[in-house]
Structure 1
Amino acid sequence: MVQQTRLFKVSPVLTGIVMVMLAVAFSLLFAKSASAHGYIEGPASRAALCKTGANVGCGAIQYEPQSLEAKGNYPAAGPADGQIAGAGAFPELNVQTADRWTKVNLNTGANNFTWKLTAAHATKEWKYYITKPGWNPNKTLARSDFDLFCSFNDGGKRPDFSVTHSCNIPTDRTGYNVILAVWEISDTGNAFYNVIDVNLGGNNGGGATPAAPSTPANLTSSAQTTSSVSLSWSASTAASGIKNYEVYRNNTLVGTTTTTSYSDAGLTANTTYSYTVKAVDNAGTKSIASSALSVKTAGDSSAFPAWNAATAYVGGSKVTHNGVSYQAKWWTQGETPGSAGVWQAI
């Protein structure tokens, strides 16, 4: 008897299902390996201060401070000297002069460093470096400028979305220094690099320069007209007391106030503005800028004619009635804006 070999034909539908499943699996694997992001929000890093508007001219990092990612295993590998602050990808952050960046007032000794993780990732270790005594603040940052002063080994553990480390800043540092924080990822070979520009006053508990006022929080706008915006925020605190607040529109100082509210006038109708607020204490020290708030002024309703019950309107017609602008959805006559569904407020 001759044995016959039967060949099975694979269904095209089954093949398609398998391909889709493989694509999804690879997508999930890639997302897992590429989704780790984070930055230091307290004390605010150079990139975090770009996000709030305290630092300007930062480039794209102002929109994504969590993206300072490069090869890991620093200092043996990682960004090249001169590109450390920008992680080799954001050149604006590499500019280095004594007065280029907003500084955070700190004391030497014990300090907390808090990371905000937008995607937690299995972690190898956290490392903190500080510029050496006598470093040149007008030269781009290099490995030779830094000393390691604090580290934590996580051994591959996945962290929480907020991570705080307590480290002792060396007491022989004073004035302007740069702290470099490195988050080494355990399963991608990459790391995240954050620099913090600090002004060191001395040892904690030893007559150091007082810390800066707390950052104004909860910045909101309660009212907008065609030419003004009303702002309010939560009060800041400081050891010497709060003297006043500075209000910035589009990163430009527009006024001060001794209260926690401000009305900005002389604006253009139907225009979006960005606002931040800084607290100033009685010693003249300023806080970090608040988170930015975008506010749009009201549209100029005077551009549209007043509604008339005797007039026939077609879809798209615009009118004003009782101080509100409306647009007709379809043909209408005698139907009152604000009451009839044919009118839509704009």
Structure 2
Amino acid sequence: MKTFKLKSLALLTTLSVGGFLHANMASAHGYLENPPARGFFCRAGQAGAGSPGCKAVGQFSGAVTTPQEIVGGGLNYKETLKKGKICAADSRYPNLGLPANQWKHKAITVKNGKITLDYRFTAHHGTDHIGYYITKPGTNNADTIGWEDLQELARFDGVKGPNGQIGGFGIYSETVDLPSNITDGDYTIVTMWPVSRQHGTGENFTSCSDVTLTGLGQGGGEVVDSWGVIGDGVTATKNLKAGDTVTFRLFKAGADAGKVSYTLTENLSSYYWLPDLGDAVNDTKNFPVKIGDTLKGDEVSIEYSDDHYNVYAKGKNTNYSYVITLEEQTQPGTGASPVPVITASSNTITDSEWLELDALKTTDPDTSNNQLKYTWEVTRNADKVELANTSGAETRIRLHKPADSDFNVSVKLTVTDPQKNKGEVTKILKAEHSSEKPGDEQPGDEQPGGEQPGNPGDAAAYNARIAYPTKCTKVSHNGQVWQNQWYVNAGQEEPGKGGSWGAWRTEKATSNQCK
């Protein structure tokens, strides 16, 4: 019985794949939606999106809009579309013609030798026919498809639109009998929709759908104890490192039904360790399920690396559930906490410039510093200061305004390693009251010659190549004696270059806090 399932066209025009927007669906007039055509199965959220075939066509925004429109050829598609071009829109989107083993297959359990085909019209035209073809048993899935590989599955002439007339959109659904020679295994269904001669465009819309059929047995419709897909399959979601162990655990009616483990000998991405685990499951003698992407006859196998595979069980053994568990390799000393260290550019905090803080000297027995998480917070007088950022290995801090009186500021650093072990340390900074504000100094206070210099012979000459970590260290430079107001790094500031509120101030300056 012919039926139409109507859905909103608005939904069809907003789907996207791999970051590409679809072309105007008015130019993509129809395709087989169930079983899903290759382009449709590549769309975001569809199970086929991670296959090598989908990745190969991702560069073509039009290739993921299925169907593929061919102008010219029309009813003569068997002559027009040569081997390798049947699924590829006559080379318009060549990667759609990649062999079937490059695409995810939709698992279908066949009942009574029949399957249902749902054809999506996005803009119905006058129709000569819709033709469905299926690959013959034994077709090489590692090769491209030619007409010699196909046999007719069904043909429907003069298909009308959803309203019984030409035009409109919706799903045209038919349940068809599979050819008697089809057995359990992998197949490709090819769909052809040439519009009518009266339409005048000579258009033909093509799509190819890859399927894994189960429930047919070894031929003639006889149901035998064969492999069938169970559950949603297994998916790898993260990359793993050498020494990690993944385990496939199987349950039947909630009870433990077996497990297979695989330990990595090198760091592997999800696309590589999952097939290794699948091979370990498949190589385990008498294990009741198998993992793979291909079913040929009564053989389940993995043909290409991927991060998702089907799980198969025999006959009616469908009361299974399964899960993959991960045991990450533990390193010696993972119970030890990080040892945090705060290094400050000064112990005195002001409002005139940022004071630099860093945790670069922090250590952890078994974790590199770039794997540690750093959290900064002010635990005392937080309302009087500004903290530049609260995460990362470095931050800066300063007063909101000059200190009205002396007070301390407590800065706490918490360091967390990947095993959630924590270390904490607190740094005390001093804010000092100054009776002199910027701009209060008298003329000549800090100007060359405007002060009474100290005796340069009492202090060592300034050396730009060394740091001055001790506050109030005296140095001589350009005939004057200077004192640092805080920790000064090597070459950070030359005496006389920082102004009235710089790190170096003359011994007699009114702003010198060392007096």
Alignment-derived partner of residue 318 in structure 1: 389
Q: CA deviation at 1:183?
A: 3.7
Residue by residue over 1:204-225, the C-alpha shift from the partner in whole angstroms, topping out at 9 and shown as x without a partner, is 56447354225469x9x9xx9x
Q: Which string of whole-angstrom CA distances, capped at 9 and with x for unpartnered residues, describes residues 139-189 of structure 1?
A: 422223322220223135546544432111101233544321224456562
SS of residue matched to 1:318:
coil
**Distance in 1 between the 2:85 and 2:272 partners?**
29
TM-aligned CA deviation for residue 91 of structure 1:
2.6
Deviation at 1:319, TM superposition (A): 1.6
1:244 Cα offset (Å): 8.9
Q: How does 1:8-27 map to 2 (within 5 A)?
A: none
1:75 shift after superposition = 2.6
Range with greater deviation from structure 2 (61-70 or 188-197)? 61-70
For 2:53 and 2:42, how far apart are their aligned partners in 1? 8
Give runs of aligned pairs for residues 302-313 of structure 1, distance below 5 A.
305-308=375-378, 309=382, 310-313=384-387
Tell whether the 8 Å contact from 1:45 to 1:195 is kept in structure 2 after alignment.
yes
Matched, 1:180 2:190: yes
SS at match of 1:73: helix
Q: Give the aligned CA root-mean-square deviation in angstroms.
A: 5.5
How many angstroms apart in 1 are the aligned matches of 2:220 and 2:135? 17
Q: Percent identity?
A: 16
Aligned-partner SS, 2:376 = coil
Residues 32 and 198 from structure 1, CA distance in 2 versus in 1: closer, same or farther, beyond 3 angstroms? closer
Flag the 1:86–1:178 CA change in 2: closer, same or farther, 3 A.
Answer: same
Q: Is the 8 A contact 2:134 2:152 kept in 1?
A: yes
Describe the shift of the 1:85–1:31 C-alpha distance in structure 2 as closer, same or farther (beyond 3 A).
Answer: closer
Once the two structures are TM-superposed, the CA of residue 122 in structure 1 deviates from its matched residue by 0.4
User: What does 1:1-346 correspond to in 2, within 5 Å?
Assistant: 33-36=26-29, 38-42=31-35, 44-47=36-39, 50-51=42-43, 52-53=48-49, 55-58=51-54, 59-61=56-58, 65-71=64-70, 72-73=74-75, 75-76=77-78, 79-87=81-89, 88-96=91-99, 100-103=102-105, 104=107, 107=110, 109-115=113-119, 117=120, 120-123=122-125, 124=127, 125-132=129-136, 135=139, 137=141, 139-153=143-157, 154-157=159-162, 158=167, 161-174=170-183, 175-185=185-195, 189-199=203-213, 201=217, 202-204=219-221, 206-207=223-224, 209=226, 211-215=228-232, 251-254=271-274, 278-281=310-313, 305-308=375-378, 309=382, 310-313=384-387, 317-320=388-391
Is this contact kept in 1: 2:227–2:313, CA < 8 A? no
Q: Which has the larger radius of gyration?
A: 2
Mark the CA change 1:282 to 1:121 in structure 2 (over 3 Å): closer, same or farther: same
Counterparts in 2 of 1:176 and 1:67: CA distance versus 1, 3 Å: closer
Q: Which sections of structure 2, spanning at least 5 residues, go unmatched?
A: 1-22, 239-251, 261-267, 279-305, 319-369, 402-408, 410-515
- Relative to its length, the structure with more strand (as a share) is 1
Greater RCO, 1 or 2 (C-alpha within 8 Å, sep 6+)? 1
Q: In structure 2, do the counterparts of structure 1 residues 177 and 32 end up closer, same or farther at CA, with 3 Å as the change threshold?
A: closer
Deviation at 1:85, TM superposition (A): 2.0
- Give the distance between the partners of 1:180 and 1:121, measured in 2 at CA: 20
The offset of 1:38, in angstroms, is: 3.9
C-alpha contact 2:28 2:68 (8 A) present in aligned 1: no
Displacement after TM superposition at 1:110 (Å): 1.0
Mapped to 2, the partners of 1:39 and 1:243 lie a distance apart of 40
Mapped contact 1:40–1:194 kept (Cα < 8 A): no
Q: Secondary structure at 1:144's aligned position in 2?
A: helix
For structure 1, the 5+ residue unaligned runs are: 1-29, 225-236, 257-273, 287-299, 322-326, 335-346
